[in-house]
Structure 1
Amino acid sequence: MTITEQPFQGWSPEAVVFDCDGTLMDTEQHWQDARVRAFREFGLRPAPGFAARAKGVHYLDCGRMMAQEADKPDLAPELTESLLAHFMERVADDPVTMPGAAEFVQSLAGRVPLAVASNCPLAVVESSLEQAGLLVHFRHIVVPHDPGAADAPGAIQRDGTLIRPKPWPDVYATAALLCGARYERTMAVEDSLTGIESALRAGLRVVGVGDRPADGGDGGADLWVPTLHSPQLLNLDWVRAG
Structure 2
Amino acid sequence: MASKLILGIPFSAVVFDCDGTLMDTEHHWIEARRVVLADRGITPGSDFSARTKGMHYSECGRLMAEMCGRPEKAAEVTERLLDEFRKLVVADAVTVPGAVKFVELAAELAPLAVASNCPRDIVETCLESAGLLHHFSRVVVPEGRIRPKPHPDPYATAARLCGADPGASLAVEDSMCGVHSALAAGLRVIGVGPEPPTGVEGMEKVEMWVERLDDPALLAPPSGGAAVVPPRRAEDAPDTAGRPGLPS
Q: Scaled by the length of structure 1, what TM-score is found?
A: 0.85
Contact 2:7/2:218, CA 8 A, preserved across alignment: no
Letter in 1 for 2:37: F
For residues 228 and 221 of structure 1, do their structure 2 counterparts lie closer, same or farther at Cα, with a shift above 3 Å needed?
same
**Partner residue in 1 for 2:45:** 47
Runs of 4+ in 1 over 3 A off after TM superposition: 213-218
Aligned residue number for residue 177 of structure 1: 160
Contact 2:172 2:189 in 1 (8 A): yes
- 1:70: Cα distance to partner? 3.4
Instruction: Show the counterpart of 2:62.
Output: 64
Q: Which amino acid aligns with 1:140?
A: R
How far the C-alpha of 1:63 sits from its partner, in A, is 0.2
Instruction: Tell me the residue number matched to 1:25.
Output: 23
Percent identity (aligned): 52
Range moving further from structure 2, 60-69 or 118-127 = 60-69
Q: Please give the per-residue CA displacement for 1:48-71, whole angstroms capped at 9, x wherever unaligned.
A: 411100000010011011122333
Find the aligned partners of 2:21 and 2:96 in 1 and give their Cα distance. 6
The change in CA–CA distance for 1:128 and 1:61 in structure 2 (over 3 A counts) is same
Distance, in Å, in 1 between the alignment partners of 2:46 and 2:210 is 27
Structure-2 residue corresponding to 1:194 = 177
Aligned-pair distance for 1:237?
Answer: 5.1
- Secondary structure at the counterpart of residue 14 of structure 2: strand
- Alpha carbons of structure 1 residues 176 and 211: separation in structure 2 relative to 1, 3 Å: same
Gaps of 5+ in 1: 1-6, 146-154, 156-161
Give the secondary structure class of the aligned counterpart of 1:141: strand
1:173, CA displacement in angstroms?
Answer: 0.2
How far the C-alpha of 1:78 sits from its partner, in A, is 1.8
Shift of 1:222: 1.1
Q: Counterparts of 1:25 and 1:14 in 2: how far apart (Å)?
A: 23
Shift of 1:14: 0.3
Any unmatched runs of 5+ in structure 2?
Answer: 1-5, 227-248
Cα distance in structure 2, aligned partners of 1:82 and 1:47: 20
RMSD in angstroms over aligned alpha carbons? 2.1
Distance, in Å, in 2 between the alignment partners of 1:42 and 1:81 is 15
1:40 and 1:34 mapped to 2: Cα distance? 10
**What does residue 212 of structure 2 align with?**
227
Contact 2:40 2:68 in 1 (8 A): no
SS at match of 2:95: coil
The separation in 1 between residues aligned to 2:172 and 2:12, in whole angstroms, is 14
Q: CA deviation at 1:214?
A: 5.0
Matches within 5 A, 1:12-161: 12-145=10-143, 155=144
Q: Quick one: distance in 2 between partners of 1:224 and 1:194?
A: 15
